């Protein structure tokens, strides 16, 4: 079975730091984050055309001198572990391209297989909030935090380049919360603070929230610098 791809950005300079990649979107997610701006992929993925793997391969091969690899995102790629995920990643690697793998960390076994079978060159994991009862409000579901913590451990011990990232939602995440998250990943190579984007949020009430100014994000960055080797701000 071919992996179901519902979005294809042919060329991206933003999704993999320092690389030029093609970004591929899979449908479905087990999280219902109220601030998600890809809700169409979760609520009604049938509205989007399914893109044949052959089309993606053809584009990659015809731009091999320019494209470094793919970023596989969604949705949640690990939901497709029995629907062609590993086979697809293997095909991309066999063609000579790199793979950046995005995940919410709810399936550590899937991450472990991706790593052990050398199907990814870079892993990005979203951490929604402090690893306690507050996580559920940000993920939109009752979250098994033992799996989130296990995924963090697996990624940090993988030997691969990686990043953890958190979308800074005003009213839900501030300095105290960000410091708590940073302590959970103390010693991590890279932590990215992502600017909240109100447009098209799944929960319409979030569309009226004003994002933090850059200065506030810089203050948050400085708060967590003692715990993580490299902290970046992404987004305006």
The CATH number of residue 95's host domain is: 3.20.20.70
Question: Cα(85)–Cα(108) distance, rounded to whole angstroms?
Answer: 15
Residue 186, Cα to own-chain centre: how many angstroms?
A: 19
Q: Which domain holds residue 60?
A: 7-167
Question: Cα(219)–Cα(235) distance, rounded to whole angstroms?
Answer: 15
pTM: 0.96
**pLDDT tens across 115-159, in order?**
999 999 999 999 999 999 999 999 999 999 999 999 999 999 999
In a domain, 174, yes or no: no
In a domain, 104, yes or no: yes
With a cut of 90, say whether residue 96 has pLDDT above it.
yes
Which is nearest to 79 in space by CA: 50, 49, 41, 53? 41
Contacts of 67 (CB under 8 A, 6+ apart): 11, 20, 21, 22, 60, 97
In a domain, 220, yes or no: no
In a domain, 200, yes or no: no
In a domain, 35, yes or no: yes
- The number of folded domains in the chain is 1
In a domain, 159, yes or no: yes
**pLDDT tens across 102-126, in order?**
999 999 999 999 999 999 999 999 9
> Cα Rg for the chain, rounded, in angstroms?
17
Question: Cα(121)–Cα(160) distance, rounded to whole angstroms?
Answer: 6
Residue 140, Cα to own-chain centre: how many angstroms?
A: 16
With a cut of 70, say whether residue 35 has pLDDT above it.
yes
**pLDDT tens across 180-189, in order?**
999 999 999 9
């Amino acid at each position: 079975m071919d992996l179901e791809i519902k979005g294809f950005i042919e060329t991206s300079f933003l999704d993999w730091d320092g690389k030029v990649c093609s970004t591929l979107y899979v449908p479905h997610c087990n999280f219902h984050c109220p601030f998600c701006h890809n809700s169409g992929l979760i609520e009604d993925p049938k509205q989007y055309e399914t893109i044949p793997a052959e089309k993606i391969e053809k584009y990659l091969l015809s731009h091999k001198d320019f494209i470094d690899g793919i970023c596989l995102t969604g949705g949640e790629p690990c939901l497709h572990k029995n629907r062609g995920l590993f086979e697809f990643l293997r095909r991309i690697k066999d063609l000579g391209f790199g793979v950046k793998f995005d995940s919410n960390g709810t399936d550590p076994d899937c991450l472990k297989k991706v790593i052990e079978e050398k199907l990814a060159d870079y892993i990005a994991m979203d951490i929604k909030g402090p690893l306690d009862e507050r996580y559920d409000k940000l993920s939109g579901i009752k979250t098994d935090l033992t799996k989130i913590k296990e995924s963090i451990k697996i990624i940090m011990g993988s030997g691969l380049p990686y990043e953890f990232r958190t979308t800074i939602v005003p009213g839900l995440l501030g300095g105290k919360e960000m410091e708590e998250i940073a302590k959970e990943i103390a010693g991590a190579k890279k932590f990215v603070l992502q600017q909240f984007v109100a447009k098209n949020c799944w929960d319409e009430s979030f569309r009226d929230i004003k994002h933090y100014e850059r200065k506030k994000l810089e203050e948050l960055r400085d708060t967590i610098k003692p715990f993580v080797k490299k902290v970046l701000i992404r987004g305006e």
